[in-house]
Structure 1
Amino acid sequence: MRQLLLGMEEAGLSLSSQQPGRMARVSTSALRGSLTEVIVSEGGAIQPMHLLPMLAQCNAHKRWLMWLSPHRPMNKSWLESMGLQHSPVIHLDLCNDTQLALCSKVLAAGNSHMIVEWQGELSNHERQIIRQQADQSGSHVVLIQRRP
């Protein structure tokens, strides 16, 4: 079995299935953004806030970490407990009517990675827009949908 090495802590490293210890270097201009979708249940053990440290590990370019969600405030002690006391994290309230426009604006700035707790149904068209904008801006987006 081959081990997949994740070199996310150092800029310019790519995912590789090479031998352990041998990472392929790629140009930082070749780095692209990504869209990852996650479904969480209301009472499940994994909640969106638990994904912020994972997103911070992708933060080789020292971008802001944006958390877009409805009415889920953060506090300093929570960030400290997650090991994010020194990371630039911003929470923005998200509402159903303006969520695509807000995501587009954040991605157009190109200075953050983000977690989005999507409200309602996500259309294929909306998904494609977010995927293209993430790719173009070099941002990693984790899009979360809640299911009962």
Structure 2
Amino acid sequence: MRSIQQTHHNASYALTNAIGNSQKHVYTASQVSEIVYDPQNPFTLHLLLPFLQQLGHQPRWQLWLSPERRLNRYWINSLGLPENKTIGLNAVSTENTIEMMEKALRSSNFSSVIAWLPAISPEIKERLNQAAKEGDCYGFILQSLPVLQRSLQHNDMFGISHWH
């Protein structure tokens, strides 16, 4: 059984190698990042790919929470991600996706959890960050630019009163 220190070391090692050893900044492991991308130009998502490939060398799984489509195994293989350690789940709602992401981050079973979500409140992001720290896991929230713009126009949907 793997110790927490070893898991933390593995995650820190993956982050250092993905970013490059020449960086002088201190990066903390186990955080959730929001990545806004333009669906017409998916190049932004490929910036995340080297990091996910490095995390794929860990013995833990990678979880993809997709809103409407199943994960394509051909696509996973073409990206160089480990098919045998990649799980894709369809998320029914934003609230459901946040719950699943939080539980997965906290579980220590995953090296990374990637979810498509609209803009989230700072309180929810803090909950996800805390779960990621507890599980020594990286979380990535992918936000399509048009979805982000719509959610900002309807900001009350993601207010504190909506989430428990």
Q: CA deviation at 1:77?
A: 1.9
Mapped pair 1:115 → 2:114: yes
Q: Greater helix percent: which structure? A: 2
Looking at structure 2, the residues matched to 52 and 74 of structure 1 have their Cα atoms a distance apart, in angstroms, of 16
Q: What SS does the corresponding residue of 2:95 show, helix, strand or coil?
A: coil
- TM-score, scaled to structure 2: 0.64
Q: Cα RMSD over matched residues?
A: 2.9
Aligned residue number for residue 104 of structure 1: 102
Aligned residue number for residue 53 of structure 2: 56
Deviations 1:35-77 (A, max 9, x none): 2221011212336587455323134532101011111322222
Q: Is the 8 A contact 1:115 1:142 kept in 2?
A: yes
Unpaired stretches in structure 2, ≥5 consecutive residues = 1-8, 147-164
Q: What SS does the corresponding residue of 1:98 show, helix, strand or coil?
A: helix
Partner AA of 2:68 in structure 1: H
Looking at structure 1, the residues matched to 85 and 48 of structure 2 have their Cα atoms a distance apart, in angstroms, of 15
Looking at structure 1, the residues matched to 50 and 70 of structure 2 have their Cα atoms a distance apart, in angstroms, of 16
Q: Is the 8 A contact 1:76 1:85 kept in 2?
A: no
Q: Greater strand percent: which structure? A: 1
Q: Is the 8 A contact 2:37 2:142 kept in 1?
A: yes
* Mapping of residues 1-148 of structure 1, within 5 Å: 11=10, 13=13, 15=16, 16-17=21-22, 32-46=29-43, 48=45, 51=48, 54-59=51-56, 61-94=58-91, 95-112=93-110, 113-118=112-117, 120-148=118-146
Q: Is the 8 A contact 1:48 1:115 kept in 2?
A: no
Partner AA of 1:116 in structure 2: A
Partner AA of 2:94 in structure 1: N
